[in-house]
Amino acid sequence: MKMIKILSAAAVILTSASVLTVSNAYADEVVKVGIDAAYKPFAYVDTNGELAGLEVDLTKAVCAEAKLNCQITNVPWDGIWTALETGTIDMIGTTVTETGPRLEKYDATRIIYKVGYAYLVPESADISKGIEGLKGQSIGTIVGTQSYYDFIKATLGNDTQIQGYDSPDAAVLDLDAGRIAAFQNDNLQLQQQFVSTGKYKLVAEPSFDKRFVGEGRGWFFRKGSKELVAKIDKGLDTVIASGKLNELGQKYLKTNLTSQ
């Protein structure tokens, strides 16, 4: 298994060309939000060099409702927790699975939406044996996401060879080349970015086993951020009640997003 990379604060790459500020006249303090822009349509850098995507639009909407002055910066996933812990950012705006160990270490918002886990293969692949047919083969996933590793080992065996990647695009390049048998990720990402092209398919229905997917996904903060979390939660409540979350879900994923 590829070792999970641990980066120092100095190694965290902030893409200065991709910074958005959500200003508000009522907010004096800047809330620094880090989002990994390598996950289109959740977050990406558009042709103008600007941050875009569902998570970017949702963060902007929530910060406006919460009357917070939020500065959104592109922070790669493999350095995003270090950036949070060292104060480089105040909030991880990439939605993250809320698990017991994470909630013990960090503060988090309410559940924003739920996802399942699934395996992606080329459209031509034989999936007649389902997930069982992947056993004994090399599987790709996103490096640094422990719940993905746990899910793969639980469904395919502890001795499964797991290859970690920094982005879905990098993993699927190896999938196309035959260097891995399948790419494991969340179902929304896989369905929107890859299955929708007609070139790929899921091996089986997504799993919503709470041992791995947790209760759902939310935003994370350093311990001791309860006041900020309360403001963000209030903004989230308003945005979700207004139907804005489902509007973004339809825009970017062609599906409604539920936190229930």
Tokens for 23, please give them.
């200003």
pLDDT at 2 (0 to 100):
36
pLDDT beneath 70, residues of the chain: 1-28, 259-260
Strand 139-142: give its sheet, edge to edge: 162-165, 139-142, 182-186, 117-122, 200-202
pLDDT at 40 (0 to 100):
86
pLDDT at 16 (0 to 100):
42
Distances (CA, A) of 93 to 47, 60, 76: 21, 10, 12
| Topology of the domain comprising 9-113+215-253 | D-Maltodextrin-Binding Protein; domain 2 (3.40.190)
Global confidence as pTM = 0.69
Backbone angles phi, psi at 228, to 5 degrees: -65, -40
Domain boundaries, the chain: 9-113+215-253, 117-209
CA dist 229 and 136 (Å) reads 43
Q: Do domains 9-113+215-253 and 117-209 have the same CATH topology?
A: yes
Do residues 53 and 42 lie in contact, with contact meaning Cβ atoms separated by under 8 Å? yes
Dihedral, 224, 102, 36, 180 alpha carbons, nearest 10: 170
pLDDT at 256 (0 to 100):
83
Element (H, E) at 45: strand 43-45
Distances (CA, A) of 53 to 42, 155, 172, 194: 5, 31, 20, 16
What per-residue string of b and e applies to 24-36 under the rule 16 or more CB within 10 Å gives b?
eeebeeebbbbbb
DSSP 3-state percent helix, strand, coil across the chain (nearest 5): 35, 25, 40
| Domain covering 117-209 in this structure, CATH number | 3.40.190.10
DSSP H helical segments within 70-181, as ranges?
77-85, 100-105, 146-156, 168-177
pLDDT at 103 (0 to 100):
93
